[in-house]
């Protein structure tokens, strides 16, 4: 029996053995859609407006999910865990973290202050979980996006503080609560990441908050302010995406180009963090 030449045998081996592996390698090189963790609100079931009286319930507005998905991310809803150390398993699967707004305030004990008379209701279980997961995400270098109350959580997690009630603590402030539609202008700080993303010097935003950032956290810089002096956005400029905005871009996403750019930049940063598939 005559054996094929060495060159021919190698060519056959390439066809029969290498091709399938090559296909697998090509699949592995494809970038994966980044998995974006979004923390849920925890309705404790104790209020008169509770969704399920007597039964704690995790809830999240669909706007956040749709904005992340439309920008190319895979939204993963994160229920509030009961222990701070339980955030670690989440971090093993996430490529980005979004902290949404909240109907409750951050407990001022978290930033070393006594409660103000105009402080709203607090939710210690949700706040404790979000502070823990933000700190873990920051330690691992994950992109982080804080929206409204989420921006406040981000700031407190990094050592900053808040005005507990804008009307009573900020002189001549605008009415910052109760405006789901764009209601006032914010000025972007030049040469910040936020200004580079939005590509504008000013933008009109909605406003649904009665608290605001007072002292930015460690490494945080102010990247936007309202014309009454209230801080409207903070960031860590040295990171690809650690940004908190005081407004609600998820509610403006469908019709506002600046809001779409913000979510796209967040998801793109998470895609860079994610390994190739």
What tokens were used for 79?
Answer: 């229920």
Whether 248 is catalytic is yes
What's the Cα-to-Cα distance from 74 to each of 31, 39, 77, 140, 241, rounded to whole Å?
13, 14, 10, 20, 17
Both tokens assigned to 265: 């930049």
Contact 260, 71 (CB under 8 A): yes
Give the number of C-alpha atoms closer than 13 A to the C-alpha of residue 147, restricted to the C-beta side. 27
Terminal alpha carbon distance of the chain: 46
Q: What are the DSSP E strand ranges found in 84-200?
A: 96-99, 144-147, 161-163, 179-188
Catalytic residue among 148, 210, 232, 235: 148
Q: Which residue matches tokens 């150390």?
A: 85
Residue among 128, 131, 68 nearest 95 (CA): 68
Question: Active-site residues: which are they?
Answer: 148, 248, 250
């Amino acid at each position: 029996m005559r054996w094929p030449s060495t060159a021919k045998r190698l060519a056959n081996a390439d066809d029969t053995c290498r091709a399938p592996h090559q296909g697998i390698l090509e699949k592995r090189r494809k970038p994966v859609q980044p998995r974006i963790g979004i923390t849920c609100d925890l309705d404790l079931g104790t209020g008169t407006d509770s969704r399920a009286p007597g039964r704690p319930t995790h809830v999240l507005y669909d706007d956040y999910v749709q904005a992340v998905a439309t920008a190319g991310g895979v939204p993963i809803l994160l229920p509030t865990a009961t222990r701070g150390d339980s955030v670690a398993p989440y971090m093993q699967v996430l490529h980005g973290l979004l902290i949404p707004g909240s109907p409750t305030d951050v407990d001022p004990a978290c930033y070393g202050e006594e409660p103000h008379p105009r402080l709203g209701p607090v939710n210690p279980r949700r706040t404790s979980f979000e502070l823990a997961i933000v700190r873990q995400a920051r330690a691992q270098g994950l992109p982080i996006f804080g929206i409204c109350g989420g921006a406040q959580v981000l700031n407190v997690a990094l050592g900053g503080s808040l005005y507990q009630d804008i009307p009573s603590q900020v002189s001549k402030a605008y009415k910052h609560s109760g405006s789901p539609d764009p209601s006032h202008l914010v000025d972007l700080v030049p040469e910040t990441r936020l200004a580079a993303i939005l590509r504008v010097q000013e933008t009109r935003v909605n406003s649904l908050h009665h608290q605001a950032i007072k002292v930015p956290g460690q490494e945080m810089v102010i990247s936007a302010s309202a014309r009454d002096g209230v801080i409207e956005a903070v960031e860590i400029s040295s990171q690809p995406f650690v940004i908190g905005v005081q407004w609600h871009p998820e509610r403006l996403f469908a019709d506002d180009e600046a809001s779409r750019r913000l979510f796209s930049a967040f998801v793109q940063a998470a895609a860079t963090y994610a390994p190739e598939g």
